[in-house]
Amino acid sequence: MVDAAPAFWDSPSIEEWWRLVFVLAGIGALIGAGEGIRILLRWPPEFTRKLVHVSVGVLVFFAPQIFTVPLPAVVLAVVFIIVNLLAIRFGLLKGMHGTGRPTFGTVYYPLAFLILVLIFWYRQPLIISLSILVLALGDAGAAIVGELKRAPATFSLSGDRKSLEGSMTMFLVSFAVLFLGLTQLDPGFGGHYDYILAAAGIAAATATAWEALSSRGLDNLSIPLSVAFVLWYFLIPDSRTDVQQFTMGSAFAIAVAVVSYQFKFLSASGAVATYLLATVVFGIGGWKWTIPILVFFVLSSILSRIGRNRKAEAEEFFEKSGPRDWAQVFANGGAAGIFVVCSFVEPDVPWYPLYLGSLAAVTADTWGTEIGLLSGRKPLLITSFKPVAAGSSGGVTLPGSAGGLGGSLLIGVSALPWLPDARILPWIVLAGLAGSLFDSFLGATVQGIYRCPVCGKSTERKRHCNNQPTVRRMGIEGINNDAVNWGCALMGAGVIAVSGFG
Examine the pLDDT at 170 and tell me if it is beyond 90. Answer: yes
Amino acid 3: pLDDT: 47
Could you give the C-alpha distances from 326 to 39, 40, 338, 435, in angstroms and in order? Answer: 39, 42, 16, 21
Strand partners, 266: 324
Examine the pLDDT at 99 and tell me if it is beyond 60. Answer: no
Give the percent of the chain with pLDDT over 90: 47
Examine the pLDDT at 100 and tell me if it is beyond 70. Answer: no
- Among 362, 354, 305, CA closest to 333: 362
| % helix, strand, coil for the chain, step of 5 | 70, 5, 25
CA distance 499 to 375: 33
Amino acid 94: pLDDT: 59
Strand partners, 324: 266
Q: What is the mean pLDDT of residues 186-198?
A: 75
Per the CB < 8 A criterion, the answer to whether 342 and 281 are in contact is: no
Q: What is the mean pLDDT of residues 171-187?
A: 88
- Among 253, 270, 360, CA closest to 322: 270
| Higher local confidence (pLDDT), 469 or 41 | 469
Examine the pLDDT at 120 and tell me if it is beyond 80. Answer: yes
User: pLDDT-based confidence at 74, cuts 50/70/90?
Assistant: very high
User: pLDDT-based confidence at 4, cuts 50/70/90?
Assistant: very low
For all residues of the chain together, what is the average pLDDT?
86
Examine the pLDDT at 421 and tell me if it is beyond 50. Answer: yes
Residue 342: Cβ within 10 Å count = 14
CA 240 from chain centre, in angstroms, equals 23
Amino acid 316: pLDDT: 62
Per the CB < 8 A criterion, the answer to whether 393 and 481 are in contact is: yes
Lowest average pLDDT, out of 175-179, 215-219, 269-273, goes to 215-219
Amino acid 7: pLDDT: 65
Burial 254-285 (b: 16+ CB within 10 A, else e): bebbeebbeeebbbbbbbbbbbbbbbbbbbbb
Amino acid 375: pLDDT: 81
Residue 341: Cβ within 10 Å count = 15
Q: What is the pLDDT of residues 383-403, one digit of tens each?
A: 888 888 877 788 899 999 999
Per the CB < 8 A criterion, the answer to whether 139 and 215 are in contact is: no
Per the CB < 8 A criterion, the answer to whether 359 and 492 are in contact is: yes
What is the Cα gyration radius of the chain? 25
Examine the pLDDT at 322 and tell me if it is beyond 70. Answer: yes
Amino acid 466: pLDDT: 76
Amino acid 178: pLDDT: 95
Residue 164: Cβ within 10 Å count = 14
Examine the pLDDT at 95 and tell me if it is beyond 60. Answer: no
Examine the pLDDT at 1 and tell me if it is beyond 50. Answer: no
User: pLDDT-based confidence at 199, cuts 50/70/90?
Assistant: very high
Amino acid 2: pLDDT: 42
Q: What is the DSSP string of 438-492?
A: HHHHHHHHTB-EEE-TTT--EES-SB-GGGPBPEEEESBTT--HHHHHHHHHHHH
The DSSP H or E segment spanning 8 is none
Amino acid 118: pLDDT: 93
Mark out the alpha helices in 316-421 (DSSP H runs): 326-345, 351-375, 398-414
Q: What is the mean pLDDT of residues 212-227?
A: 92
